[in-house]
A and B are shown apart, each in its own frame.
Chain A
Amino acid sequence: MAKGILIIVEQRNLEIRKVSLELLSQGRKIADETGEPLVAVIVGNGIEGLAQTVTASGADKVILIEDAKLADYTTGAYTSVLNKLIRKEEPQAVLMGNTAIGKDLAPRLAQRLGVGLASDCTGMETDASSFLVFKRPIYAGKAFEYLTSNVRPILATIRPNTFKVTDPDAARKSEIVKEAADIDAGDLRAILKEVAIAASSRPDLTEANIIVSGGRGMGGPENYVILEALADVVGAAVGASRAAVDSGWKEHKFQVGQTGKTVAPTLYIACGISGAIQHLAGMGSSKFIVAINKDPEANIFNVADYGIVGDLFEVVPVLTEEFKKLVK
């Protein structure tokens, strides 16, 4: 009989990703509501010290799978150890973040387990008949579908920023279990050679609480410095529209929209962005939208909570100074 909710906790350089804390927080709520235990698994090397954080964030049981071969994420090795663990634990549901790792790992794991997968979910509710219902954007957010799984375990990846992190409880206790990492040569057919993390003091677009984004109106790559100055005052990420990316001003990883990233920050500041349907799909579920554009007829004003009709090169520096006064 399937039992429990299993969270695959993601760590990078022995630091737990924020999305994993979000899942532990929400998992705890579901565990309390349904009477199911909340189990967390951490895979890596030298990860023992993370068990305390995971416990304080809500886990009833923490499983550690440690091996030098698991220090870095590789599809084969991680799929192998997690497949074995899930078959042993038989949870009702397995949840992980829709991160680069989650996107790569979850489909492989789902297929090895012979189950479905609700990917990139932005909502999750308990349900009497199917245990969990997942809400996920389709057509980059132009519509939503609600998915349930007909088989167990239920597998889902959840988009970062979907759930809030609750305050950790240092007094919580959990059962801590070590599982052997049983990895064979067949699991290591793709070898990680090099990792290059771009040095950036700014948050990732998909995790950012505030995004300052620039489009065609930026006029050139050199002008993004004024958006970066605004972003850095409030700890925001910097994004771009497809027009700006296709002009070669920003790399694709900064693109917001249907063929880029779908984001839902608390505040999205669109500068010199006209508001094409593909762009609106990617940022339309932001809580507040600010538009700064010269063209009073620009479509972006139809979705913006606050708009300033004006030259962004004049408005943004003044706004930066205003933000500085507020966050001082």
Chain B
Amino acid sequence: MNIIVYIKQTFDTEAKIVLDGSGKIDANGVNLIINPYDEFAVEEGIKLKEKLGGEVTVVSIGGAKAQEAIRTALAMGADKGVLISDPALENADEWANAEVLAKAIAKMPCDIVIAGRIAIDDGASQIGVRLAEILNVPSISSILKLDVTGTHVTATREIDGGTETIEAELPLVLTAQKGLNEPRYPSVAGIMKAKKKPIQTLTLADLGLSAGDLAPKMSVQKYTLPDARKAGQKIPGDVATAAHELARLLREEAKIL
């Protein structure tokens, strides 16, 4: 089975966001990680390989640093990596990234693509589903449970207030929700092995694309930071007094209850 996992390198969840001199998100000094939801995708890909045999290829779009994220996935147990890296992709929107990714994946043997359901940086949650559309295959998003038997796929996905179970045939695209599995930590042996695993780097030209093919559909006007919240009041007194006063403040000052 040819399993492709799409991952993205993101800021660490600990990262504090600041804007640089030109009003853009400042990446200086920020620790980078694999997008947490993509770890579930990597884990599920490796589990599928362990059950059904085959190969896990990790694909990412990003700068040279994204190699580290791919290397981590290889240390977990993926077999090889592909990094699509091109300066022209720096301001690419979701449409452009999906088009680029599809171009790369169309050239690979592929039975199943797994991605995280959302990236914690842009929060857009679009690439996996867009990719399925370009590849003209079904997609099941935000999955919590997966079974692949032969070419038959059964997946349970999260919906508002519950779950639903969907069946489809390979090939298809899945996006992983937290709860699907527990991602493994790379072992020391895994980390050593990962150093020898191949990572191929592709540019837009390698994919037969040029910057002109990818004129963005969306534009960012500006970035802002939320207004800093101020610490309010700690309500003094014993439990009964404080609780009574809190209820009063919520009703009379905040006008909620």
Chain A interface residues (CB < 8 Å from chain B): 12, 74-76, 79, 99-101, 103-104, 106-108, 110-112, 114-120, 133, 136-151, 189-198, 200, 204, 206, 210, 234, 251-253, 255, 258-260, 262, 266-267, 277-278, 284-285, 287-290, 296, 301-310, 314-315, 318-319, 321-323, 325-327
Contact = CB atoms under 8 A, between A and B. Distances in A.
B205 interface: no
Given A104-B142, A308-B242, A142 B226 contact: yes
A205 to B, nearest CB: 10
Contact of B235 (A117, A189, A307): A307
Contacts of A137: 123
A96 to B, nearest CB: 13
A116 B216 contact: yes
Contacts of B123: 119-120, 136-140, 262
Contact of B125 (A99, A103, A142): A103
B86 interface: no
Given A111-B95, A118-B218, A119-B126, A310 B223 contact: no
A222 to B, nearest CB: 21
Nearest to B179: A252
Nearest to A195: B164
A33 to B, nearest CB: 19
A304 B231 contact: yes
Given A277-B16, A278-B13, A149 B247 contact: no
Contact of A315 (B154, B160, B243): B243
Interface stretch (B51-59, B64-72, B131-139, B188-196): B131-139
Contacts of A287: 254
Contacts of B93: 116
A139 to B, nearest CB: 5
Contacts, number: 260
A59 B128 CA distance: 33
Given A138-B121, A149-B218, A252-B179, 8 more contacts: A75-B139, A103-B125, A118-B218, A120-B124, A146-B222, A191-B167, A196-B163, A196-B164
Contacts of B233: 305-307
B108 interface: no
B146 to A, nearest CB: 13
Interface of B: 11, 13-17, 19, 25, 36-37, 93-95, 98, 120-130, 132-134, 137-142, 154, 158-169, 172, 177-179, 215-226, 229, 231-235, 239-240, 242-244, 246-247, 249-251, 254, 256-257
Q: Is the interface of B mostly helix, strand, loop or mixed?
A: mixed
B257 A323 contact: yes
Contacts of A252: 177-179
A99 B122 CA distance: 17
A275 to B, nearest CB: 11
B220 A195 contact: no
Contact of A189 (B133, B138, B221): B138
26 contacts: A99-B160, A103-B142, A106-B126, A107-B130, A108-B130, A116-B216, A139-B120, A142-B226, A143-B223, A143-B224, A149-B218, A150-B216, A190-B166, A196-B163, A253-B158, A267-B250, A277-B13, A277-B16, A284-B226, A285-B226, A288-B250, A288-B254, A301-B231, A306-B246, A315-B242, A322-B246
Contacts of A99: 160
A236 to B, nearest CB: 11
A73 to B, nearest CB: 8
A320 to B, nearest CB: 9
A195 B177 CA distance: 17
- Highest count of chain B CB atoms <10 Å: which of A99, A107, A284, A301: A107
Interface-central residue, A196, A284, A285, by most chain B CB under 10 Å: A196
Contacts of B231: 301-304
A108 B257 contact: no
Contacts of A197: 159, 161-162
Contact of B240 (A189, A192, A262, A318): A318
B243 A319 contact: yes
A159 B218 CA distance: 19
Contacts of A12: 160
A233 to B, nearest CB: 9
Given A75-B138, A99-B160, A204-B161, A116 B243 contact: no
Contacts of B94: 107, 116-117
A140 B141 CA distance: 20
B6 to A, nearest CB: 14
Contacts of A106: 126
Contact of B219 (A140, A147, A210, A277): A147
Contact of B232 (A107, A115, A305): A305
Nearest to B155: A190
B179 A251 contact: yes
